[in-house]
Structure formats: structure tokens, C-alpha cells
Amino acid sequence: MNQQLAFRNESSEKDKPHDSDDSLSASGSMRGSYFYGWWMLVLAILIMVGTSPGQTFGITFFNAKFRDAFGLGYSQISVSYLVATLCAAILLPFIGRLTDCWGLRRSVLVAVGAMATICICASLIQGWLALFFVYLALRTIGPGTMVLLANNTLAAWFDRRLGLAISLMQLSMAAAMAIIPGLLLLLIEQLGWRETYLLLGGILCCGFLPLLFLLYRSDPKQINQVPDGKLSENYSWEDVASIGVTVRQASRFASYWILLAAAAIWALIGTGLVFHLAPLVQESGLPASMARTAMVAMAMGMAVAQLLGGVLADRLSSRFLVTLAVSLIAAGCAVLSLRRGDMFILGFSCFGLGQGLMTVVSGTVWPRYFGRAHLGQIRGVALGAAVAGSSLGPLLIGLSIDIYGSVLPALLLYTGGALFVALSCLWAKSPALPGMSEDAVGSGDAPR
């Protein structure tokens, strides 16, 4: 490269993570055969689906059973969830840094094994304190660590086609959001909530974990391949992987803080709407059965946006796409604030479109804006902001109901906050970092 990369990773070889699967590269060259990254995409999808027990849609159907089993009220459940999620947000920057040190393969195996263990432990809890620690563990490992690792896996294997890969993974997650809640509800009714957690732990331990152990590869270099199967002639993968900034360096750019705000408001609103879906349905004058229809509508909106977003993220400005995503989320909240039965599904569909586009852009914007050298740290902080936001979302609607007897004040606050962040995103320009041209890191702020 003609220009010296000022932000290259300066650590020595002994400080770099060495995954336990380095010996896999001895199997010989695979450059001339199929691109293994598509298999890694399937494994990334499995990792994302494995986060379901820790996602809000995977927890919400257990809450009623927790209240009955331990004699808890709505406020106790909500406060436990809030504090546990905030604690998880505090831990995520450290976990992101740890994944940079451990490497992807080891981190993935530990995280999936931990999720299996947590599910098994959840089946044994006997009181409020144990429930709090289960919430904490589920939120830290599921929507925190495993989501980070799934996204970083694709960033390691894809460059110019990263948007497509992210959209396919998120599209699969949208399908999971449409299917898994109904399955969990059925299992809880037929088997019981303790037995359902045992079953989830068994699936993760005996199904997901062996597949990941046998097939997961941290880096294309281990099997003599490169991201996308082909790199620009001007750059080697070592060039691309070594470009990037630390969290401290990224914090000097306004775009970093704007993107953190976008991640936080998205998670805050999404978690609040799903966690308090029942009162939203009730205030719109609809039967309780519409809650499931709303989830399906949201998932369908996500699927459409993710399908289109994968193509757009590889061609259009990330700044434009983030602005559009947060604007759609604001529009969905505005429609829901009307509290009209005939507009309810439209509101959730609109929110689903914004959330679907946001899931794709959030997967591509961090490596393209700030590089890959310290991606675990960067994404760890971003996920920490998102998880912190998700902890406040349910609280705002809960307070709105308790104080004003309605969800309307919270929905208006959601709408105003999202509109403010959407306008701010117009200034989220790609940082001009040395060595970070489009050839090196894919499309950033400039369309190709």
C-alpha cells in the first residue's frame, strides 16, 4: 500500500489471539474450491437463533409463570429485568475486548456452552434472587455476547458482500421471531416452563455446540481463503484486518456517538413495545389474540427490510440507511400512539421495517466506519448501548401506565426521541481514517 496506515494494529504477534483451530489450516488449500464463507453464514444464523432464550421475545412468555411460581408482581419482574439488563450492558464492553483477545472460535464455543448452561440453571431456580441472576446471564450472553460474535463472524468472512450476508442472517432471525414465540408458548403449556428450559439447554448443548465445534472457522486464512472468495488486487486480507481504531480513537468522531444513540433508541423502543405488548393491544381496543398477529406483522416487516437492506447496504450510504431506519421506527411509534384498532398492525409493520433495516446497517456500519482491528471492542460498546436502551424501554411504558393510566405518554416520548436521533443521523458521516478506503473496507459513507 502506498499510504502508511496510521491506525494499524500495533500489537506484536504474541499478543494476537490464536484460536484452537489453527491446525485446521493443515487440511490444505481451499482457494480453488467453494467459498467456505457461505457455510459460516449458516453457522452465524445458528448462533443468532441460539440467542432466542435471552431475547425479549424469548423471555416474555415465561414472565407469567415466574410471577405465579414466585409470587412476584409486575413491578418486581420489570425492575429485575431492568437492573439485570443494565448490568449486562456494563459488562459488554469488557466482553467485546475479551473476544478480541480470545479469538472468535473459542469465544463462540464458550458463549454457546454458557447459554446452554444458563437454560439448564433456569429450570432449577426457586426464588426472586435466582431469577435476577438468570435474567442477567441470559441478557449478557444472548442479545449481548452471541449477537456480537455472530456479526463479527460475518465481518471476518465477508467484505464487499457483508451487507448481503448480514441481511440473510437477520432475515433468518426475523423468521425465528415469527416462529419461536409460538413454539415456546406451546412448549410451556404442554411441558411446563422448567421442562421447556431444560429442552432449550439440551438443544444448544447436544445440537448447536457439536456443529460449531466441528465446522466453525475463525478466519478465511486458516483454510487459505480470503473474504468474499476474492479481494481487491490492491489489498491483502492482512491489510484489511489490521486497519481500525480503538474505542478511544473512535470516540473522537461525532458519527460514533450518533450511531450509539441510534442503537440505543432502536433497542429501547423495540424492547418496550414487545415487553408491554398486552397493554398496547388492550388500549387499541383489540382482543388479546392480536398480540401474536402483531408479532407476525413485525416479523414480516423486518423480513422485507432485511431482504432489501442487504442489497442497499452494499450500494448506498450508511448514513442515509441509518436515517431511514430510525425514521421508520419513529413513524411506527407515531401510528401506534393513535391507539386505533385499524392502525395497530400497520404501526407494528412500520416498526418492523425500521428494525429490519437497522439490523442490517448495524451489522455493516461498524467495520466499515471504524475498521476490523478492534471490532470486538467497538461492537461491545455498541451492544452495551443497545442493551442499556433495551432496559429502559419497558420501564418507560410501565411508568406511563402506572402514573397516567395509559401507554400514550410513553409512545409520544418514543416518537420524539426517535425523530431527534433520525435527524442527528444525517450528520453521521464516515470518518476519514488513514488507510480506510472503499477498496479496503467496503462501502462506507459514499455510494458505489
Q: What local confidence, expressed as pLDDT, does residue 27 receive?
A: 41
Written as nine digits, the cell of 394 is 419497558
Q: Could you tell me if residue 115 is inside a domain?
A: yes
Q: Could you tell me if residue 330 is inside a domain?
A: yes
**pLDDT of 403 above 80:** yes
CATH number at residue 110: 1.20.1250.20
**pLDDT of 1 above 50:** no
Q: Could you tell me if residue 27 is inside a domain?
A: no
Residue closest to 439 by CA, chosen among 163, 244, 250, 231: 231
**φ and ψ of 331, to 5 deg:** -65, -40
Q: Lowest-confidence range among 116-120, 166-170, 261-265?
A: 166-170
Q: What local confidence, expressed as pLDDT, does residue 18 receive?
A: 47
Query: Which DSSP helix (H) or strand (E) runs through 448?
Result: none
Q: Could you tell me if residue 367 is inside a domain?
A: yes
Q: What local confidence, expressed as pLDDT, does residue 173 receive?
A: 81
Residue 10 pLDDT level (bands cut at 50, 70, 90): very low
Q: What local confidence, expressed as pLDDT, does residue 420 receive?
A: 96
pLDDT tens readout for residues 114-144: 999 999 999 999 888 999 999 999 999 988 8
**DSSP string of 315-363, one letter each residue:** TS-HHHHHHHHHHHHHHHHHHHTT--GGGHHHHHHHHHHHHHHHHHHHH
**pLDDT of 397 above 90:** no
- What is the domain range of residue 207? 32-430
Q: Could you tell me if residue 98 is inside a domain?
A: yes
Query: Average pLDDT of the chain?
Result: 82
In the chain, the number of structural domains is 1
**pLDDT of 106 above 80:** yes
Q: Could you tell me if residue 23 is inside a domain?
A: no
pTM: 0.72
Q: What local confidence, expressed as pLDDT, does residue 441 receive?
A: 41
Give dist(CA 309, CA 360) in Å, integer. Answer: 6
**pLDDT of 259 above 90:** yes
Q: What local confidence, expressed as pLDDT, does residue 242 receive?
A: 60
C-alpha angle 167-325-338 in degrees, rounded to nearest 5: 125
pLDDT tens readout for residues 375-388: 778 888 887 888 78
Residue closest to 225 by CA, chosen among 167, 149, 159: 159
Q: What local confidence, expressed as pLDDT, does residue 229 receive?
A: 76
Q: Could you tell me if residue 222 is inside a domain?
A: yes
Q: Could you tell me if residue 25 is inside a domain?
A: no
Give dist(CA 263, CA 260) in Å, integer. Answer: 5
Q: Lowest-confidence range among 9-23, 84-98, 227-241, 418-432?
A: 9-23
CA 53 from centroid of its chain's CA atoms: 14
pLDDT tens readout for residues 408-432: 999 999 999 999 999 999 998 888 6
Burial class (CB in 10 A: 0-12, 13-18, 19+), 6: exposed
Q: Which residue has the higher pLDDT, 417 or 2?
A: 417
